């Protein structure tokens, strides 16, 4: 290549180029899939109004461009999307981008908090269990992991609501803020945190169990490697061997899984947001499907694919930083 | 010279194995002394417990499953079996250090070389950062690493195997320990590198008067480096004494047998094979591992593995392909069996081209050229019985099942395995027996040519001798031709009528083994031959062993 870029930048540029066809394919696929489903926005609107005469329905269709062939509709949509114009949501009577931006924060907050809790707790519990492998501690941790792992998140969510909100009354049942309280400053932060506790737990526990099991196996595996023996032959203490020699090497498969699972967490948030009535992208997706709000739905898909692409890119960066043998090429 | 002071005294050491093992003790009643400035070689085959001895001295045994049940280990007179974990940690790396076999895996891949040597200083000294760095650079220079300053910041994967082993040695030496335990430190290295590392260990040990307990299975290396030798068999010390005595006049029958199994460096006399028909012919073979990637992914430079390689193999002949790692010798074995597609050239078996053959023709041709692989464990399907493994090939080629099975049983006796072996699974056999199964599998197809890729390099020396004898015997009885790929020049000398010496994908020298070994022309061949460990030592029992 003629121009010399720093490796990270060149890598980023290449990944950006690779992302374009990926996202394009996702959008085309989803558009066609959604067009295959019976019913459209007009059906949903007319249904809400309790019926209307055929001439009005036909005019409405023509107005929204729904009378055109599917390929023409797709072309129109994609050419607008190329300029980051997401279109108009006929359900919310707002531009889709506004609707999306309103909801993005809540979802990102939920995902970031549950993934970080899952990752940090999973990794430390897993490492801890591996260090005391086959002891009582290990068995207790592993059994707990199995329980979390086997429990569907919606069921866990309902159980928690029953216990913490209904019986004990410690935590709010749903929503993201106490209605009518109008907190500001730190009170608002504390209030939001209170509301996020249960959704975050419900979403993170299953992933926590994943990371824990993987980390435990990984630590046990790395502990048997030659360089760990070298470190012990140098006179390093068990905790030093764990932190400096085992952890970093054992983290690699966990990071891989973290990147891969990000998209599943997005999917899982649909359920959780609906149960806890959090105004996030997941809940929005659910209502958009019911209302046949195609523009909003496609906007969510677009946004999610971008998030996943970005997260995969970040995972690769973290991976390269953790594993010195990998060159960013 | 005053009588040397003992550094390490192992007295009546017994290490117990978990119950249900093949024997109750890994080591039984081991008594051994290493004096100041002395290299004591602990020699034994796999399973002899030699690595357990190292583990017991370092107190790095996988306790509580494997533990010391009796005896004492004294370092400078202090019994270290009685020390607590903390005191033991203070000792390790400081007065007692260790060099491991695999330089590839013995260094942490995520930390720089400098950090890893520095860790020893951080653990055992009060030096500040600057002083530590100076010391690390100094020790890197001592082990002759070019450009210590840049090596300090290098990661292990950025260095060659030999350089990594130098780093390991630097790490072991940085605090000038009293005793170094070297566990097969050169086994994973090429011969020329091995020679340099052995010299380095010897030189540094001479300067620092360190005692070295050198664990190895290779009598060539022993002859090169040992002051005293202790021979271990199944956890028991069978013989120990000064190097010259053990090497040249061993007393115990096991030592005699071990030394007799070391392949002599005298190649067989040239065979008059000129009129035998050419069975396998390779013409200007070429293989390049292509540059990968393009616009959307990373670029990797193309690697030429084999360039313009030609050779002829006559009936009943053994052609050795020798070279160091990366010379392309394994690629050659893969191309002539068409397990790997070559870029250009011809491989003729009895005049039929294997490279240009269609799928159907290829299948027929494969019958004539069979492979024996290096790792007898990995190359046999663990879920199949031996008889099925051997009969599978003929059955695929249309032999009726009953006939193929009968033939497989015959082959078992041909490779000197009992007929009862037929209904067992591969994991029930030792390495040598598994390699025999591999050979039986190959000759079941009644091939013209057998391509053997390092078939004995995973085996103990006594087993290796048996397998080599079997191969030579079968070759003569069935008039097979052997293409024998090896890195071990002793093995090549033992078996091969002709050798080709490869370096970086090219043949640098070819000819009858006796001529190449006696009078090497190319400088690379000369340096290879000069690097054979213990080349000046002629195993003495050879005369006795020949009955």
* Site from A234, A237, A246, A322 to mutate, B interface, most B CB atoms within 10 angstroms: A234
Give B300's DSSP letter. Answer: B
| C-beta separation of B473 from B464 below 8 A | no
| C-beta separation of B538 from B361 below 8 A | no
Strand order in B498-503's β-sheet? B369-372, B449-453, B481-486, B318-322, B498-503, B506-512
> Which SS3 state, helix, strand or coil, does residue B287 take?
strand
Question: Tens digits of per-residue pLDDT, A230-239?
Answer: 898 888 888 8
Give B270's DSSP letter. Answer: P
Nearest to A233 among B93, B107, B293 (CB): B93
- Which residues in chain A (208-247) have CB-CB distances under 8 A to chain B? 225-227, 229-237, 240, 244-245
> Which SS3 state, helix, strand or coil, does residue A302 take?
helix
> What local confidence, expressed as pLDDT, does residue A309 receive?
87
Element (H, E) at B408: helix B401-414
> What local confidence, expressed as pLDDT, does residue B2 receive?
53
Answer with the residue of higher pLDDT: B541 or B330.
B330
Answer with the residue of higher pLDDT: A83 or A221.
A221
Question: Tens digits of per-residue pLDDT, B310-327?
Answer: 898 988 889 999 988 878
Name the token pair of A16: 């950006």
C-alpha angle with apex B458: B457 to B464, nearest 5 degrees? 65
- CA dist B423 and B417 (Å) reads 12
Q: Are A237 and B100 an interchain contact pair (Cβ–Cβ within 8 Å)? A: no
Q: Are A244 and B105 an interchain contact pair (Cβ–Cβ within 8 Å)? A: no
Phi and psi for B416 in degrees, rounded to 5?
Answer: 65, 40
- CA dist A285 and A293 (Å) reads 9
Q: Are B155 and A17 an interchain contact pair (Cβ–Cβ within 8 Å)? A: no
Handedness of CA B359, B362, B364, B369 (dihedral sign): negative
> What local confidence, expressed as pLDDT, does residue A120 receive?
92
Question: Tens digits of per-residue pLDDT, B164-202?
Answer: 888 988 898 888 888 999 988 888 778 888 888 888 888
Element (H, E) at B529: helix B523-530
Name every residue whose Cβ is closer than 8 Å to that of residue A172 and which is 6 or more positions away in sequence: A165, A178, A194, A195
For B197-225, the DSSP string reads: HHHHHHHHHHHHT-EEEEEES-HHHHHHH
Nearest to A17 among B106, B120, B296 (CB): B296
- CA dist A16 and A316 (Å) reads 13
Nearest to B123 among A17, A235, A327 (CB): A235
Distances in whole angstroms, Cα of residue A22 to Cα of each of A19, A71, A158, B220: 5, 19, 37, 59
Closest CA to B254 of B230, B274, B275, B270: B230
pLDDT for residue B151 is more than 70: yes
The whole-number average pLDDT for the span B413-436 is 86
pLDDT for residue B483 is more than 90: yes
* Site from B80, B102, B104, B106 to mutate, A interface, most A CB atoms within 10 angstroms: B106
pLDDT for residue B293 is more than 70: no
Is any Cβ of chain B less than 8 angstroms from the Cβ of A325?
yes
> What local confidence, expressed as pLDDT, does residue A57 receive?
81
- CA dist A232 and B469 (Å) reads 43
pLDDT for residue B294 is more than 60: no
Q: Are A230 and B102 an interchain contact pair (Cβ–Cβ within 8 Å)? A: no
Nearest to B123 among A225, A234, A245 (CB): A234
Rg, chain A, Cα only: 24
Least confident stretch, A182-196, B121-135, B190-204, B440-454: A182-196
Element (H, E) at B193: helix B191-208
pLDDT for residue B434 is more than 80: yes
Closest CA to B108 of A5, A48, A240, A228: A228
For the domain spanning B1-95+179-186+209-259, the CATH number is 3.40.50.300
Tell me the CA end-to-end span of chain B in Å, nearest whole number.
44
Element (H, E) at B453: strand B449-453
> What local confidence, expressed as pLDDT, does residue B27 receive?
85
> What local confidence, expressed as pLDDT, does residue A328 receive?
63
* Candidate CATH numbers 1.10.1040.10, 1.10.3720.10, 2.50.20.10, 3.20.20.140; the one for domain A97-322: 1.10.3720.10
The Cβ-side half-sphere exposure at A199, using a 13 Å CA radius, reads 34
Nearest to A233 among B97, B124, B293 (CB): B97
Task: Burial-class residue B74 by CB neighbours within 10 Å (0-12, 13-18, 19+).
Answer: middle
Rg, chain B, Cα only: 26
Closest CA to B157 of B216, B112, B222, B204: B112
Does the N-terminal peptide bond of residue B402 adopt cis geometry, omega within 30 degrees of 0?
Answer: no
* Residue spans of alpha helices (H) in A224-293: 226-233, 238-240, 247-275, 281-291
Q: Residue A4 — pLDDT band, cuts 50, 70, 90?
A: low
Name every residue whose Cβ is closer than 8 Å to that of residue B20 and which is 6 or more positions away in sequence: none
> What local confidence, expressed as pLDDT, does residue A3 receive?
55
Q: Beta strand B506-512 with B211-216: parallel, antiparallel or unpaired?
A: unpaired
* Residue spans of alpha helices (H) in chain A: 7-36, 41-49, 54-64, 70-81, 96-131, 136-150, 153-160, 185-223, 226-233, 238-240, 247-275, 281-291, 294-322
| C-beta separation of B438 from B373 below 8 A | yes
The whole-number average pLDDT for the span A288-316 is 85
> What local confidence, expressed as pLDDT, does residue B296 receive?
42
> Which SS3 state, helix, strand or coil, does residue A226 take?
helix
| C-beta separation of B280 from B449 below 8 A | yes
Give B427's DSSP letter. Answer: G
> What local confidence, expressed as pLDDT, does residue B231 receive?
92
The residue ranges of every structural domain in chain B are 1-95+179-186+209-259, 278-289+301-545
Q: Are A226 and B100 an interchain contact pair (Cβ–Cβ within 8 Å)? A: yes
The whole-number average pLDDT for the span B488-513 is 89
Q: Residue B71 — pLDDT band, cuts 50, 70, 90?
A: confident
pLDDT for residue B399 is more than 50: yes
Least confident stretch, A116-120, B8-12, B354-358: B354-358
The Cβ-side half-sphere exposure at A239, using a 13 Å CA radius, reads 1
- CA dist A304 and A107 (Å) reads 11
| Rounded percentage of chain A residues whose pLDDT exceeds 70 | 97
- CA dist B74 and B56 (Å) reads 11
pLDDT for residue B504 is more than 80: yes
Bridge partners, residue B486, by sequence: B322
Q: Residue A124 — pLDDT band, cuts 50, 70, 90?
A: very high
Q: Are B155 and A237 an interchain contact pair (Cβ–Cβ within 8 Å)? A: no
Is any Cβ of chain A less than 8 angstroms from the Cβ of B114?
no
Helix pair A185-223, A96-131: axis angle to 10 deg: 40
Distances in whole angstroms, Cα of residue A81 to Cα of each of A117, A298, B527: 35, 10, 68
Distances in whole angstroms, Cα of residue B281 to Cα of each of A121, B278, B310, B452: 63, 7, 7, 16
* Site from B103, B107, B110 to mutate, A interface, most A CB atoms within 10 angstroms: B110
| Rounded percentage of chain B residues whose pLDDT exceeds 90 | 12
Q: Residue B431 — pLDDT band, cuts 50, 70, 90?
A: confident
User: Which range, A81-85, A244-248, A323-327, is most confident?
Assistant: A244-248
> What local confidence, expressed as pLDDT, does residue B17 receive?
83
pLDDT for residue A197 is more than 90: no
Q: Shortest Cα distance from B382 to chain A (angstroms)?
A: 23
- Which residues in chain B (268-297) have CB-CB distances under 8 A to chain A? 293, 296-297
Average model confidence (pLDDT) across chain B: 85
> What local confidence, expressed as pLDDT, does residue B214 receive?
92
Q: Are A235 and B293 an interchain contact pair (Cβ–Cβ within 8 Å)? A: no
pLDDT for residue B297 is more than 50: no
Residues of B in Cβ contact (< 8 Å) with A240: 123
B278-289+301-545 matches B1-95+179-186+209-259 in CATH topology: yes
Question: Tens digits of per-residue pLDDT, B227-275?
Answer: 999 999 888 889 999 988 888 888 899 988 888 888 877 777 776 666 7
The interface predicted TM-score (ipTM) is 0.77
pLDDT for residue A90 is more than 60: yes
For the domain spanning B278-289+301-545, the CATH number is 3.40.50.300
Residues of A in Cβ contact (< 8 Å) with B155: 324-325
Average model confidence (pLDDT) across chain A: 84
């Amino acid at each position: 290549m003629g121009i010399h870029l720093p490796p990270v930048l060149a890598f980023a540029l290449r990944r950006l180029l690779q992302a374009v066809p990926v996202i394009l394919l996702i959008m085309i696929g989803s558009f066609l899939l959604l067009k295959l489903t019976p019913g459209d926005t007009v059906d949903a609107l007319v249904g809400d109004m309790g019926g209307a005469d055929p001439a009005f329905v036909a005019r409405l269709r023509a107005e929204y461009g729904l009378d055109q062939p599917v390929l023409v509709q797709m072309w129109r949509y994609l050419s607008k999307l190329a300029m980051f114009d997401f279109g108009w949501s006929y359900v919310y009577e707002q531009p889709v981008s506004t609707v999306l931006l309103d909801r993005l924060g809540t979802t990102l907050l939920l995902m970031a908090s549950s993934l970080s809790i899952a990752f940090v707790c999973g990794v430390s519990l897993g490492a801890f269990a591996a260090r005391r492998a086959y002891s009582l501690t290990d068995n207790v941790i592993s059994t707990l992991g199995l329980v979390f792992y086997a429990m569907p998140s919606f069921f866990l969510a309902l159980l928690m609501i029953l216990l913490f909100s209904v019986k004990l009354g410690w935590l709010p049942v749903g929503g993201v803020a106490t209605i009518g309280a109008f907190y500001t400053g730190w009170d608002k932060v504390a209030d939001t945190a209170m509301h996020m506790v249960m959704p975050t737990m419900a979403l993170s526990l299953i992933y926590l169990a994943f990371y824990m099991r993987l980390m435990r196996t990984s630590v046990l595996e790395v502990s048997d490697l030659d360089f760990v023996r070298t470190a012990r032959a140098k006179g390093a203490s068990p905790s030093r061997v764990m932190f400096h020699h085992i952890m970093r090497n054992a983290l690699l498969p966990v990071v891989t899984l973290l990147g891969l699972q990000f998209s599943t967490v997005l999917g899982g948030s649909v359920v959780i947001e609906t149960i806890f009535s959090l105004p996030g992208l997941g809940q929005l997706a659910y209502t958009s499907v019911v209302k046949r709000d195609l523009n909003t739905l496609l906007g969510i898909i677009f946004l999610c694919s971008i998030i996943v692409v970005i997260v995969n890119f970040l995972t690769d960066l973290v991976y390269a930083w953790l594993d010195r043998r990998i060159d960013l090429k | 010279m005053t009588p040397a002071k003992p550094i390490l005294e192992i007295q009546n050491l017994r290490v117990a194995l978990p119950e249900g093992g093949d024997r109750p003790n890994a080591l039984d009643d081991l008594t051994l002394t290493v004096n100041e400035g002395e290299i004591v070689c602990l020699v034994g085959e796999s399973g002899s417990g030699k690595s357990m001895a190292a583990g017991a001295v370092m107190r790095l045994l996988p306790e509580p499953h494997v533990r010391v049940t009796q005896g004492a280990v004294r370092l400078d007179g202090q019994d270290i079996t009685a020390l607590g974990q903390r005191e033991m940690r203070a000792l390790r790396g400081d007065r007692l250090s260790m060099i491991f076999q695999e330089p590839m895996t013995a260094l942490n891949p995520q930390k720089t070389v400098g950090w890893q040597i520095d860790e020893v200083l951080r653990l055992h000294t009060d030096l500040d950062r600057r002083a530590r760095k100076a010391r690390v650079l100094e020790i890197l220079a001592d082990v002759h690493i070019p450009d210590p300053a840049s090596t300090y910041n290098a990661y292990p994967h950025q260095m060659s195997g030999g350089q990594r082993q130098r780093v390991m040695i630097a790490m072991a030496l940085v605090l000038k320990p009293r005793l170094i335990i070297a566990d097969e430190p050169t086994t994973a290295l090429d011969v020329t590198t091995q020679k340099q590392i052995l010299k380095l260990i010897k030189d540094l040990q001479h300067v620092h008067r360190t005692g070295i307990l050198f664990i190895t299975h290779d009598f060539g290396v022993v002859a090169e480096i040992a002051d005293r030798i202790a021979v271990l068999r199944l956890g028991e010390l069978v013989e120990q004494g000064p190097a010259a005595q053990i090497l040249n006049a061993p007393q115990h029958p096991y030592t005699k047998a071990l030394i007799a199994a070391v392949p002599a460096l005298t190649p067989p006399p040239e065979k008059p094979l000129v009129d035998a028909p050419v069975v396998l012919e390779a013409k200007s073979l070429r293989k390049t591992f292509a540059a990968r990637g393009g616009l959307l992914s990373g670029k990797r430079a193309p690697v030429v593995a084999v360039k313009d390689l030609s050779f002829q193999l006559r009936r009943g002949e053994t052609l050795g392909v020798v070279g160091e790692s990366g010379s392309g010798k394994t690629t050659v074995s893969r191309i002539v069996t068409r397990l790997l597609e070559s870029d250009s050239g011809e491989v003729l078996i009895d005049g039929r081209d294997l490279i240009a053959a269609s799928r159907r023709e290829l299948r027929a041709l494969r019958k004539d050229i069979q492979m024996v692989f290096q790792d007898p464990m990995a190359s046999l399907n663990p879920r199949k019985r031996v008889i099925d493994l051997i009969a599978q090939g003929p059955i695929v080629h249309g032999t009726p099942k009953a006939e193929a099975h009968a033939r497989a049983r015959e082959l078992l006796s041909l490779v000197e395995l009992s007929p009862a072996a037929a209904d067992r699974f591969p994991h029930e056999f030792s390495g040598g027996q598994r390699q025999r199964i591999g050979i039986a599998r190959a000759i079941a197809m009644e091939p013209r040519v057998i391509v053997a890729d390092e078939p004995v390099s995973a085996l103990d020396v006594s087993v290796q001798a048996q397998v080599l004898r079997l191969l030579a015997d079968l070759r003569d009885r069935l008039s097979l031709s052997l293409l024998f790929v090896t890195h071990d020049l002793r093995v090549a000398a033992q078996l091969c009528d002709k050798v080709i010496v490869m370096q970086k994908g090219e043949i640098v020298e070819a000819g009858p083994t006796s001529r190449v070994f006696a009078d090497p022309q190319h400088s690379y061949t000369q340096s290879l031959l000069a690097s054979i460990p213990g080349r000046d030592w002629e195993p003495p029992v050879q005369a006795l062993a020949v009955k």
